[in-house]
Amino acid sequence: MRLYDNPASPFVRKVRILLQETGQEADVEMIPAIGNPLDSAKMPTAQNPLGKIPTLERDDGPALHDSRVICRYLDDRGGSKLYPLAPRLWEVLTLEATADGIMDAAVLMRYEVGVRPAEKQFGGWLDAQWGKIARALDAIEARWMGHLAGPIDMGQIAVACALGYLDFRHAARDWRADHPELAAWYARFAERDSMQATKPG
């Protein structure tokens, strides 16, 4: 299998962490793919019409995307249980969707300042996207800490990837200031070998 990859991508990091946690990393070749909505030349548009990564090319079937589909496929292939059975599955999927939403907003903020021409950048857009991130972090701090204390699952991995991306691209926003319990959880989770081996760069 071939995974289209960018070491800065929090969504690709979800897949890379799952591969390490399930002992499948040797089965996947990483293919560099750097791009953005205005420059998709190096993105796998033949395998994923959206031109986004991660995209997983398989030898025995069509390419898979997006990160949630790829993670569920690899979790099934590895016989692991990072997606548990129902009813806990519904919580895990909702927590992963919350974390993915943080990543979506954080990536859009990055594109606003890193891709759009300076004269077209709009501060209100950045504040609106950060508002989604702040509400999501507040919700995790208020309602999900019990879940985060449970056995590792894909929701926890997605939250860790989202927080690592905030540190990587939006450190000045200091997400830890208003979320001490989440910060303490992340300090412990970030010590995992799979986290240490996939730091964004």
* 54 contacts ligand GSF (rule: CB under 6 A): yes
* 4 contacts ligand GSF (rule: CB under 6 A): no
* 10 contacts ligand GSF (rule: CB under 6 A): yes
Cβ partners under 8 Å of residue 52, min gap 6? 11, 43, 65, 66
Residues 102-121, mask of contacts with ligand GSF (x by CB under 6 A) = -----x--------------
* 100 contacts ligand GSF (rule: CB under 6 A): yes
164 versus 186: smaller Cβ distance to ligand GSF: 164
Identify the residue among 23, 32, 37, 114 touching ligand GSF (CB under 6 A).
37
* 19 contacts ligand GSF (rule: CB under 6 A): no
Helical packing angle, 67-77 and 10-21, nearest 10°: 0
Residues at the site binding ligand GSF, with contacts judged by CB under 6 A: 9-11, 35-37, 40, 51-54, 66-68, 100, 107
